[in-house]
Amino acid sequence: MTPTATTIKDSVHDYIELCPTAEALLDTAPMQRLRYVRQLSTVQLVYPSANHTRFEHSLGVYHLASRAVDRLGVDDPLADRLRAAALVHDVGHGPFGHQTEAAIERHLGRHHDEIEWLLTDSELASALEAQGLDPEAVAATVDGRGPLGELVSGSLDVDRMDYLVRDAHHTGVPYGTIDHSRLLYSLRTVDGDLALEAGNVATAESALIARTLMNATVYGHHVSRIAGAMLDRASERVLRDAVVAPERFARLTDSELLSLLAEHESTADFETRLRERSLYKRAIWAQRGTVPDRFVGLAYDRTRELEREIAELAGVDPSAVIVDSPPVPSSPESRAKIVVNGELRRLEERSSLVAGLDACAREIWRLGVYAPEPALSAVRDAAAAVLETEATVAP
């Protein structure tokens, strides 16, 4: 640390020191925009303290990457590239993060991690180049490719280490409080691969457990899922009606999207409902096994067909039915590598917990059907018939 380094006070990691590249990147509009994108989107409707942003999270990921490269003995320019990638890894996120991802993908054909367009076509690219960094290489790192890219996006990445601890701090739910310092201290490279030193099975498991429990209590809470599904439908409308170009849409902040929805006739009701927290309610909430397997993890078009079918049967407007059937989750952490007797092994080969956690994740899975209060009863009956399930939510 040089005595003149700029530091930023963070509620999770205390002081974060900025390298010159970080200072330059923070000054760009794409990074400043992240101050206005909440890290946990609509989770604040359930956990009112969860208002932390992708900006502070990005600083945290940068900080952990800095500590990791010091620890691993990585030198510049690779170290600088890794820190830069950690800092900008979220600039590709649209408003409300993951909750508009699918809509953006449908209209723009890209995933938020593919941030090349941002890197090659923006103030950010210039800032990177001014620091002697190749935007393409940084983008590859953000995507988990290239030397040590898995530190930024992989089974044990610093992204996850930061968000678990940060989400715990801001929701008040302790499950995410992992020992991230021990994870950092345990990192080593084996022939260029990132792995945990021997004796750290429990360390690796703890990260997987933390995410599983945070999924169960925070990330997958039904109120947040309902709000997210409403945002997806509303986003679809403004994109379909060309109220906004997809490229512009992807760069909105949370509140800019809400303003847009408020002004557009077919989405104004959604915006009011989100703002005043008078959301759709659950008509169906079905565990695996209580709904036919063909309804698990539905494609968007099929989802819309089912919504129309249910609406018709219920005698309500199609906009009054939302079907939400996500894919069954996977556990990237279980692919983490760990040194066992001098050789690399996948965590899933070594841990008796991984299978249990996978089963746990599958059990948490739910298919939801949501509707506004007045239509709730009719939608419940219709959805139960169409989806061949008895997993209705009691009125």
Closest to 326 measured CA to CA, from 368, 279, 388: 368
**Cα maximum dimension of the chain:** 70
- CA distance readout (Å), 81 to 180, 325, 326: 22, 38, 35
Q: Does 357 bind a copy of itself (CB under 8 A)?
A: yes
Is 6 a binder of a copy of itself (CB under 8 A)? no
Instruction: Rank residues 170 and 380 by Cβ distance to a copy of itself and give the closer one.
Output: 170
**Cα angle at 291 between 288 and 297, to 5 degrees?**
65
Per CB under 8 A, contacts with a copy of itself among 191-220 are 202, 205-206, 209, 213, 216-217
- The C-alpha atoms of residue 271 and residue 230 are separated, in whole angstroms, by 9
Out of 110, 188, 302, 346, the only residue in the binding site for a copy of itself (CB under 8 A) is 188
Can you spell out the DSSP letters for 188-238? EEETTEEEEPTT-HHHHHHHHHHHHHHIIIIIT-HHHHHHHHHHHHHHHHH
Under rule CB under 8 A, residue 287 binds a copy of itself: no
Give the strand order in the sheet containing 187-190. 187-190, 193-196, 337-340, 343-346
Binding mask 259-278 for a copy of itself (x = CB under 8 A): x---------------xxx-
Cβ at position 306, least distance to a copy of itself in Å: 27
The nearer residue to a copy of itself, 102 or 216, going by C-beta atoms, is 216
Q: Is 249 in the site for a copy of itself (CB under 8 A)?
A: no
Residue from the set 98, 130, 132, 172 that interacts with a copy of itself by CB under 8 A: 172
Establish if 285 lies at the interface with a copy of itself (CB under 8 A).
no
Q: Where does this chain touch a copy of itself (CB under 8 A) — which range of 138-146, 254-262, 304-312, 383-391? A: 254-262
The least distance separating a copy of itself from the CB of residue 154, rounded to whole angstroms, comes to 20
The full DSSP string for 120-168 is HSSHHHHHHHHTT--HHHHHHHHTT-STTGGGTSSTT-HHHHHHHHHHH
Q: Is 182 in the site for a copy of itself (CB under 8 A)?
A: yes
Binding residues for a copy of itself restricted to 337-356, rule: CB under 8 A: 351-356
Q: Which is nearer to a copy of itself, 23 or 312 (CB)?
A: 23
Q: Is residue 170 a contact residue for a copy of itself (CB under 8 A)?
A: yes
**Separation CA 81–CA 201 (nearest Å):** 29
Residue 193 or 363 having the CB closest to a copy of itself: 363
The residue within the footprint of a copy of itself, chosen from 113, 114, 256, 269 (CB under 8 A), is 256
**Residues 6+ positions from 149 with CB-CB distance below 8 Å:** 85, 140, 141, 142, 143
Question: Which residues have C-beta within 8 Å of that of residue 352, sequence separation ≥ 6?
Answer: none
Considering only residues 87 through 106, tell me which ones interact with a copy of itself, judged by CB under 8 A. none
Which region among 46-54, 241-249, 281-289, 314-322 touches a copy of itself (by CB under 8 A)?
46-54
